[in-house]
Amino acid sequence: MKPKTLALIASITLVALIALCLAWETLLAPLRPGGSWMTLKVLPLMGALFGILRGTRYTYQWSSMMILLYLTEGVVRTNDAAPGNALALAEAVLSVIFFIVVVLYARNTAPSRLAQAARKDA
């Protein structure tokens, strides 16, 4: 896949994950009635958002490791009562998609690969 396509998928997935986490912890199935401090879990995602939108390769690299925390939370919380279990599954799926896409983006935009592609085009 082309880096632009990967960047678009990563951006959409990240925004969807931010929206899911906020809705989950404030409206849909908060740990405590009326919301909880768990909404703060979106802060690392927000920190990655601007770098992902700009296509900053370094952000893609570190966010590939950070997203594993969200995957872990999603897998662990699939045992929650409904609708929390469905939300946890959605978080896990979005995390896996994001992970795969950012790893592919980081790999495809490596300086060595870009130089190799430029040599092929010349």
**Domain definitions of the chain by residue range:** 3-121
Average pLDDT over residues 71-83: 94
Kindly report whether the global pTM for this prediction surpasses the value 0.95: no
Q: Could you tell me what percent of the chain has a pLDDT over 90?
A: 75
Residue 34 confidence (pLDDT) above 90: no
> Do 59 and 39 touch, CB atoms closer than 8 A?
no
Confidence of residue 33 (pLDDT cuts 50, 70, 90): confident
Distance separating alpha carbons of residues 15 and 35, to the nearest angstrom: 20
Q: Could you tell me what percent of the chain has a pLDDT over 70?
A: 98
Confidence of residue 91 (pLDDT cuts 50, 70, 90): very high
pLDDT at 122: 65
pLDDT at 55: 93
| Closest of 27, 54, 26 to residue 40, by C-alpha | 26
Residue 114 confidence (pLDDT) above 70: no
pLDDT at 8: 97
3-state secondary structure of 30: coil
Q: Provide the mean pLDDT of the chain.
A: 92
> Do 63 and 75 touch, CB atoms closer than 8 A?
no
> Do 71 and 96 touch, CB atoms closer than 8 A?
yes
Q: How would you class 79 by CB atoms within 10 Å of its CB: exposed for 0-12, middle for 13-18, buried for 19 or more?
A: exposed
